[in-house]
Amino acid sequence: MKNMLLEKIIKEFDVPVKRMRQIKKAVGSEMDAGLAGRKSSLAMFQAYCDAASGREKGFYPALDLGGTNFRVMMVRLQGGKKPKVLAEAKYRLTGEQISGTGDVLFNAIAGYLGKFMKENKFNSEYGLGYTFSFPVKLLGIDEGILMKWTKDFSATGVVGKKIVELQRHALTSQGLNNVKIVALANDTVGTLQTQAVEDPNCIMGVILGTGFNICVRVSSRRIKKGVGDYSGKCMIINMEAGGFAKALPFTGYDRQLDRESGNKGHQFAEKMISGKYLPQLARLLIVDLVKKEGLFGGRVPPVFLNKDTFQAWYMDVFETGTEKEITKLGRKVFGKVLTTEERIVLALVCHAVARRSARIAASIITGALTRVERRSARKVTVAIDGSLFEKYPGYSRMLNEAIRELEGSAGKSISTKLTKDGSGIGAAVIAAVVSANR
Ligand code: GLC
């Protein structure tokens, strides 16, 4: 193999500081446009709540829908201390449930919630928080319209409809009358809230997992498209940052990935950053190296024939695994012992793709920080959840390094904090915030 193409790829996937600064700047102007209701690749949906005060107390159930794994929880909030999960259940939604009709989906969710409440004998009356991690335009804290599906969901009759109304209908039809949905939120907002309960400096929530998105706390005065009858001085905004599309370093591979995706022309930043797409990008790069430079003897290994078979955790192993782990996975994935060259190329490609993701994410995060309303001048906490940030080797380090490159010494006041289970616990926190304000 000649390696010229490999060198070109590595160079193309590097994001120099200059480019990061361009992205950061473009994020600020797209945020302003989105907040004014002008055309923007950032939807900037109002979340109709401010960050938690830390005084929230009580028992709140939470529903968490954001991928094929769906969760139900009962959370106890204890005023400033870490929320306690009293009971939790995970269910895997079937293909029919995520891509059949909306009725099938919402009835399945109602069924699981009913089962959970019954099995755990939660018989009182409860205000429930619902995390629905898709682009939802909220009409108020407890209702919103699904604008489009992302992440492979496609249940019919839901886009353009009121989510809570659909879910409430399913709950009633199954006789579940002791739970009332009082808050609807995005997973980024849940993540921010989960951290805010313990840490007043938290003003941003980020998801770096299967999907990518950010929410920010901004001054209500910045929201030129209106806040309805919301009276708080600040509001959290779900940016739908995965849709960001300005100043990004598009390559031919990104265009190919987009063409072959189920949501062509959408979610450009998400397609460069999130865990759902990184292995697909790695695959496109490798296939090109096979075809043009004769990698893998010039024959595309079967694992790369289909766009979804090469998985994110394979990338972890091929990039930083031990000799033993790589040999074992090589046998499983390629049916052979990898040559030294193949191993090196796999590692370099996976690293290039993951590093680019971290640098673009850092640029968008620092761009978003230019518009936030801090609670303290000296410190900000960015709450982050998601498998990419939590588990991908070196990812959080690369992200923090890029943030420092962009912010210089000011970067010292920014800390990124892994906030687990935010999408579940956070929904309960929001339900409590709403109940406290009533
Ligand atoms: C997708 C969804 C967004 C969600 C993110 C992370 O980008 O559109 O609402 O926050 O995934 O789950």
Per-residue pLDDT of the chain (438 residues; tens, 9 = 90+): 668 899 999 999 999 999 999 999 999 999 999 999 999 999 999 999 999 988 999 999 999 998 878 999 999 999 878 899 999 999 999 999 999 999 999 999 999 999 999 999 999 999 999 999 999 999 999 999 999 998 779 999 999 999 999 999 999 999 999 999 999 999 999 999 999 999 999 999 999 999 999 999 999 999 999 888 899 999 999 999 999 999 999 999 999 999 999 889 999 999 999 999 999 999 999 999 999 999 999 999 999 999 889 999 999 999 999 999 999 999 999 999 999 999 999 999 999 999 999 999 999 999 999 999 998 878 999 999 999 999 999 999 999 999 999 999 888 899 999 999 898 999 999 999 888 776
* Architecture per CATH, 1-47+199-419: 3-Layer(aba) Sandwich (3.40)
Which residues belong to CATH 3.40.367.20 in the chain?
1-47+199-419
Q: Is the CB of 67 under 6 A from ligand 1?
A: no
Distance from C-alpha of 64 to C-alpha of 132, rounded to nearest angstrom: 6
* pTM tops 0.85: yes
Find how far residue 121's CA is from the centre of its chain.
33
Supply the residue whose CA is at minimum distance from atom 4 of ligand 1. Answer: 133
Q: Is the CB of 207 under 6 A from ligand 1?
A: yes
Q: Is the CB of 66 under 6 A from ligand 1?
A: yes
Would you tell me which CATH number, out of the four given (3.50.50.60, 3.40.50.2300, 3.30.420.40, 3.90.1150.10), belongs to the domain 57-185? 3.30.420.40
Q: Give the pairing type, strands 126-132 and 84-92.
A: unpaired
Distance from C-alpha of 376 to C-alpha of 305, rounded to nearest angstrom: 51
- Alpha carbon distances (Å) from 326 to 170, 281, 340, 344, 347: 47, 20, 11, 11, 10
Q: Is the CB of 97 under 6 A from ligand 1?
A: no
Q: Phi then psi for 209, rounded to 5 degrees?
A: -140, -130
User: Rounded to 10 degrees, what is the CA torsion of 140, 215, 149, 245?
Assistant: 130
The kind and range of the H/E element at 371 are: none
Which residues belong to CATH 3.30.420.40 in the chain?
57-185
Helices (H) and strands (E) in the chain, counts: 15, 13
HSE (side-chain half, CA atoms, 13 Å) at 272 = 32
